[in-house]
Amino acid sequence: SEEPSTRRRVILKLSGEALRETGSRDNISPEIVDRIANEVKEAMKTGEVELGIVVGGGNFWRGASASARGMDRATADYVGMLATVMNSLALQGALEHKGVPCVVQSAIEMKNVAETFIRRKAAKQLDDGKVVIFAAGTGSPFFSTDTTAALRASEMGAHQVLKATMVDGVYDSDPKKNADAKRFDRVSFQECISRQFKVMDSTAFSLCMDNKIPIVIFDLGKHGNVTEAILGADVGTVVDS
Ligand code: UDP
């Protein structure tokens, strides 16, 4: 139907690094992917939410790091985008294994392994209750997967971006380096941008600011947090206007 959905629609951003077991030589931990898939399944079975997922690629490769070591930036970024496709396929496999309907839409055409991103098609799949995994970032170099999450959230009319990370929110300095770092329950986009908080890049913050999409920054390490975040619980720092 043409009726707008009344369900909560969110975009979950998972960093690539989150899929790696600390200290392991494997880029992807099947156990961690399985755990995340379980958490997603818990949230989806309520039938109350529509979920898009953007996965990073930092567990394999980061364009900026390779470029700092002499590689052409655009080429390095394409390598990074391809890395996100590997992570997306791993996550899709785990979700399907648990009976969660799921599609991968890739911003770079790769039709033997994923659908090609078409905005209207993705929106329909979300309407239908499928989890849509957005692979290959924006499809353009010089962007990040955080920005991809902000972009897809804007295109899909999502209510929130949920950024799962290694810390439990936004701090005014790195809590791992500074014992006096102050944590925010809520902070404005303006403050994140002007104080250059590193938790997300400024392009991602400004896109969400312009399109009035709040971001929730939360700790992926705490079990249950992914489910709770998807269902709208107060699990981290809220960044909004
Ligand atoms: N990337 C890109 N364009 C995009 C998204 C990602 O070029 O729209 C590349 C970029 O090189 C980036 C890499 O893919 O370093 C992996 O993504 P990201 O660093 O965002 O992954 P995460 O840190 O979330 O694991």
Higher pLDDT, 107 or 6: 107
Residues 155-168: what's their mean pLDDT? 96
Query: Is the full-model pTM beyond 0.80?
Result: yes
pLDDT at 54: 98
Amino acid at residue number 86: M
Position 38 pLDDT exceeds 80: yes
pLDDT in tens, 72-115: 999 999 999 999 999 999 999 999 999 999 999 999 999 999 99
Position 223 pLDDT exceeds 60: yes
- With the most atoms of ligand 1 within 8 angstroms of its CB, the residue from 36, 59, 84 to mutate is 84
- With the most atoms of ligand 1 within 8 angstroms of its CB, the residue from 53, 144, 207 to mutate is 144
Map out the domains of the chain as residue ranges: 8-169+215-237
C-alpha of residue 222 to centroid of ligand 1, in Å:
24
Tell me the C-alpha distance between 144 and 35, whole Å.
25
Q: How confident is the model at residue 6 (pLDDT cuts 50, 70, 90)?
A: confident
Residues 170-180: what's their mean pLDDT? 91
Quote the tokens at residue 18: 């989150």
Q: Of the candidates 215, 213, 208, 221, which has an alpha carbon nearest to the alpha carbon of residue 165?
A: 221
What sign results for the dihedral spanned by CA atoms 149, 108, 227, 169?
A: negative
- With the most atoms of ligand 1 within 8 angstroms of its CB, the residue from 77, 148, 155 to mutate is 77
Of the candidate ranges 6-10, 52-56, 83-87, the one whose mean pLDDT is the lowest: 6-10
Residues 29-58: what's their mean pLDDT? 98
Helix 73-97 vs helix 30-44: angle between axes, to the nearest 10 degrees? 60
pLDDT at 198: 87
**Which residues have CB under 8 Å from 53's CB, separation 6+?**
11, 12, 13, 14, 40, 88, 91, 131, 132, 133, 134
Residues 224-236: what's their mean pLDDT? 97
Residues 48-76: what's their mean pLDDT? 97
Position 141 pLDDT exceeds 80: yes
Residues 185-214: what's their mean pLDDT? 96
Q: How confident is the model at residue 4 (pLDDT cuts 50, 70, 90)?
A: low
Pocket of ligand 1 (CB under 6 A): 15-17, 56-58, 62-64, 76-77, 80-81, 83-84, 137-138, 140-141, 143-146, 148
Instruction: Give the residue numbers of the binding site.
Output: 13-16, 57-58, 62, 77, 138-145, 165, 171, 174
Task: Give the mean pLDDT of the chain.
Answer: 96
Write the CATH number of the domain with boundaries 8-169+215-237.
3.40.1160.10
Q: How confident is the model at residue 176 (pLDDT cuts 50, 70, 90)?
A: confident
Q: Whose CA is nearest to atom 13 of ligand 1?
A: 80
- Closest atom, ligand 1, to C-alpha of 78: 7
Quote the tokens at residue 233: 């619980």
